[in-house]
Amino acid sequence: MMRLSRTTKVVVLTGAGISAESGIRTFRESGGLWENHKVEDVATWSGFEKDPALVWKFYRQRWEDSNSTKPNAAHYALVEMEHYYAQHFSLVTQNVDGLHSAAGSKNPLEMHGNLNSCFCTTCRAKFKLHDTDPDIAIPLCPKCGAYLRPDIVWFGEIPYFLSEIEHSLKKCDVFIIIGTSGLVYPAAGFVMTAKLMGAKTIAINLEAPDNLSFIDEFHQGKSGEVLPALVKEWTAP
């Protein structure tokens, strides 16, 4: 079993699986429907243009759902890793529920946005959803009056932090993916980048990821059970 020193450069990518263990549902579980909505109606710009009130109702509900969930043992194990590896540690997440921050992670790179964030469709100013009036169907920009939209990266939009992520993948020693099937690009490509640049790659997931040929070490199981044990080994004195 591997022991990692404090100066090992570690990048972690988390996906829907780690949130699912806290009770957050994902659209993949329900055959392409998301709480009975088609993905193109609630997760694209054209869906928002067609019916912004419906899209806001959907995301406000998801935000409320995420507020009633709690981080699990895997989220807390990642906070421990952040303390141990300090500036050598980067956490990237595909999740928008804010559970990493709720657990205490300092600076998760939320590549698909965050449910508690929104921005103006005209002047781009950013706001927190908890500062908007929940009784207004489509929140308006306090600065210019235009519609606010959820700060979520929708299909057809470019994920955040791609250049920072690419940079840290190129210089990391270990890349760990947790709770992601490996199906969704660009995240799926991160594994290849890290591997080709010489990093050791580790996956923790309920099922074997699709890009298993790029994974050096695969741990099958719940991340809330597998990860805390691994962190103990990696950081053992």
Active site residues: 112
Contact between 129 and Zn ion by CB under 5 A: the answer reads: no
Identify the bridge partners of residue 77 per DSSP, sorted by sequence position: none
Q: How far is the CB of 119 from Zn ion (least distance, A)?
A: 8
Pick the binder of Zn ion from 38, 106, 143, 232 (CB under 5 A). 143
Contact between 141 and Zn ion by CB under 5 A: the answer reads: yes
Exposure string over 154-177, b if 16+ CB within 10 A, otherwise e: beeeebbeeeebeebbeebbbbbb
Write down the number of H helices and E strands in the chain: 9, 11
Contact between 126 and Zn ion by CB under 5 A: the answer reads: no
Identify the bridge partners of residue 175 per DSSP, sorted by sequence position: 11, 201
Contact between 74 and Zn ion by CB under 5 A: the answer reads: no
Q: Which H or E element spans position 11?
A: strand 10-14
Binding-site size for Zn ion (CB under 5 A) equals 7
Q: How far is the CB of 124 from Zn ion (least distance, A)?
A: 7
Pick the binder of Zn ion from 33, 123, 137, 196 (CB under 5 A). 123
Contact between 77 and Zn ion by CB under 5 A: the answer reads: no
Cα-Cα-Cα-Cα dihedral sign, residues 122, 100, 21, 17: positive
Which residues of the shown chain bind Zn ion in the complex (CB under 5 A)?
120, 122-123, 141, 143-144, 146
